[in-house]
């Protein structure tokens, strides 16, 4: 065995290999056992043994040591990429900077390579090395009713005794008092309408509500029927002169978030002990639970003043807490809403409404009311989705076939209303999916080919005559 007097530096892994291979050379260990111990194949271990016999310990040192990597960047590429990132993409993340370098500058580098370059240049800090975000506590409001935090908690409140539902929680920021608990099928605008109306009737109008940035409280669209970033719930609070503020983080409204965790423990067990399995029974029990909860956990306010204001006589809660849309009156004194045409009476007053937008009020029970300038308008409904009743038609051979084809088309048509109708979900019904049901189409998706197929399915070819059979 050749020996080497040159000073070598071996890693711990290579030292472990040296001991194992020395045992194989000294016939203290079999080749198969040594290969299994080092996690190598038998052939690779035999190569290492031979290199050890020929070169000594130096033969076990990795041949890659001291050589340039096969995967290194071409000269000047890293410098060019770093310069471009500093000049144009200093505030970009590694993924976006990687995309821009590939699209705009023809540098097809991996995003992890860009990440390493940006870290070396001080333009990117790994998340594990960033300082944690500090959420400093703020002082409570000074009096009751100044700020009410609201949130919805979707949870299995009745455990396995009933389906999961949502609990709307209203908690006062100054005292941590539970002001309102309301069980609803799902978190929606109508659900908050019901809970807020019950709150106003019991306590009065607070100064402001504090919520998250859900679509119920903050519109995603820049413009709506009621102004910039106004929602149905925001419009109702504006008419009641109540402010609505949205928190950037869940920690900002931590009082109601922590209350949800407590309720998911205590309230669930109370409902189980009392055998309450329905939302109506839970809503009836909620005042008793709130009284006990507030006696245990509520804090005194710094000022002995109630900021709630009474609801004025001119504030009609029935009209305020409705789903309100605007529709334009056509030349034929009609307007459309949810695939239904509403016909206005031909009167001089209604003719003045042509080309004007009037309000469509939808109540929680699904009732529709048309109002213009504060006046309710009489109307008749014309359903755009009528069904053909073959029993009401006089029997006729051709007409019967036509009606049968119409029935085939109707069976393939998706007759559901729009999924945005809010009164359905408020009554506990599941929302419609946006896509058409399997095997059905929207009315505008039918073509002449669909009509021909329907006619062919109901019109059977005539039976061959005896003369035609002889031919």
pLDDT computed for residue 390 by the predictor: 46
- What's the rounded mean pLDDT across residues 191-195? 94
What percent of the chain is modeled with pLDDT above 70? 81
pLDDT computed for residue 94 by the predictor: 93
Of residues 411 and 31, more confidently modeled: 31
Q: Does residue 385 register a pLDDT over 60?
A: no
Closest alpha carbon to 178 in 149, 201, 220: 149
Structure tokens at 444: 């505008």
Of 38-42, 315-319, 428-432, least confident by mean pLDDT is 428-432
Of residues 194 and 60, more confidently modeled: 194
Q: What is the mean pLDDT of the chain?
A: 84
Closest alpha carbon to 371 in 331, 337, 416, 422: 337
Closest alpha carbon to 119 in 85, 87, 74: 85
Q: What is the pLDDT of residues 133-165, one digit of tens each?
A: 777 778 889 999 999 999 999 999 999 999 999
pLDDT computed for residue 6 by the predictor: 46
pLDDT computed for residue 428 by the predictor: 62
Q: Which of 190-204, 248-262, 369-383 has the highest mean pLDDT?
A: 190-204
Closest alpha carbon to 429 in 67, 186, 249, 193: 186
- What's the rounded mean pLDDT across residues 322-329? 91
Q: What is the DSSP letter of 444?
A: G
Q: Does residue 388 register a pLDDT over 70?
A: no
- The H or E element containing residue 307 is none
Q: What is the 3-state secondary structure (H, E, C) of 196-233?
A: HHHHHHHHCECCEEEECCCCCCCCCCCCECCECCCCHH
- What's the rounded mean pLDDT across residues 308-335? 92
Q: Does residue 2 register a pLDDT over 80?
A: no
Q: Does residue 403 register a pLDDT over 90?
A: no
Read off the pLDDT band of 407 (50, 70, 90).
Answer: confident
- What's the rounded mean pLDDT across residues 216-222? 78
- What's the rounded mean pLDDT across residues 2-14? 62
pTM above 0.75, yes or no: no
pLDDT computed for residue 248 by the predictor: 84
Q: Which of 20-24, 127-131, 274-278, 449-453 has the highest mean pLDDT?
A: 274-278
Read off the pLDDT band of 383 (50, 70, 90).
Answer: low
Of residues 12 and 151, more confidently modeled: 151
């Amino acid at each position: 065995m050749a020996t080497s007097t040159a000073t070598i530096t071996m890693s711990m892994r290579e030292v472990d290999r040296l001991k194992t291979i020395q045992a194989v050379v000294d016939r203290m260990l079999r080749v198969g056992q040594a290969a299994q111990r080092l996690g190598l194949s038998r052939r690779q271990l035999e190569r290492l043994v031979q290199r050890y016999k020929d070169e000594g310990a130096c033969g076990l040192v990795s041949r890659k040591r001291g050589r340039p990597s096969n995967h290194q960047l071409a000269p000047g590429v890293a410098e060019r990429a770093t310069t471009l990132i500093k000049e144009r993409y200093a505030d970009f993340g590694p993924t976006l900077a990687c995309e821009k370098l590939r699209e705009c500058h023809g540098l097809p580098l991996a995003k992890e390579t860009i990440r390493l370059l940006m870290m070396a240049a001080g333009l990117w800090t790994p998340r594990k090395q960033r300082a944690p975000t500090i959420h400093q506590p703020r002082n409570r409001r000074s009096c009751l009713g100044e700020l009410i935090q609201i949130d919805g908690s979707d949870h299995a409140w009745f455990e396995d005794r009933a389906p999961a539902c949502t609990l709307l929680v209203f908690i006062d920021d100054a005292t941590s008092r539970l002001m309102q608990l309301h069980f609803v099928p799902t978190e929606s605008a109508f659900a908050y309408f019901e809970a807020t109306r019950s709150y106003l009737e019991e306590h009065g109008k607070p100064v402001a509500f504090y919520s998250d940035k859900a679509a119920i409280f903050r519109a995603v669209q820049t413009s709506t029927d009621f102004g910039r970033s106004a929602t149905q719930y925001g419009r109702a609070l504006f008419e009641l002169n109540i402010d609505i503020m949205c928190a950037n983080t869940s920690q900002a409204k931590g009082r109601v978030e922590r209350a949800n965790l407590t309720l998911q423990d205590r309230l669930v067990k109370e409902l189980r002990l009392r055998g309450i399995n329905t939302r109506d029974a839970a809503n009836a029990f909620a005042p008793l639970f709130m009284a006990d909860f507030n006696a245990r956990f509520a804090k005194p306010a710094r000022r002995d003043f109630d900021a709630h204001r009474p609801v004025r006589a001119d504030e009609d809660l029935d009209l305020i807490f409705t789903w309100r849309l605007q529709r334009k009156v056509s030349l034929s004194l009609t307007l459309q809403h949810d695939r239904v045409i509403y016909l206005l009476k031909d009167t001089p007053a209604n003719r003045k409404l042509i080309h004007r937008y009037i309000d469509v009020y939808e109540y929680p029970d699904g009732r529709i009311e048309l109002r213009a300038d504060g006046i309710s308008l009489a109307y008749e409904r014309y359903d755009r989705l009528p069904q053909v009743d073959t029993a009401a038609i006089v029997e006729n051979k051709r007409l019967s076939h036509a009606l049968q084809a119409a029935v085939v088309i109707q069976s393939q048509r998706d007759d559901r209303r729009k999924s945005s109708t809010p009164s359905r979900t408020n009554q506990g019904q599941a929302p419609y999916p946006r896509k058409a049901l399997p095997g059905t189409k929207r009315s505008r998706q039918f073509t002449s080919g669909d009509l021909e197929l329907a006619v062919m399915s109901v019109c059977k070819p005539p039976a061959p005559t005896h003369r035609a059979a002889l031919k």
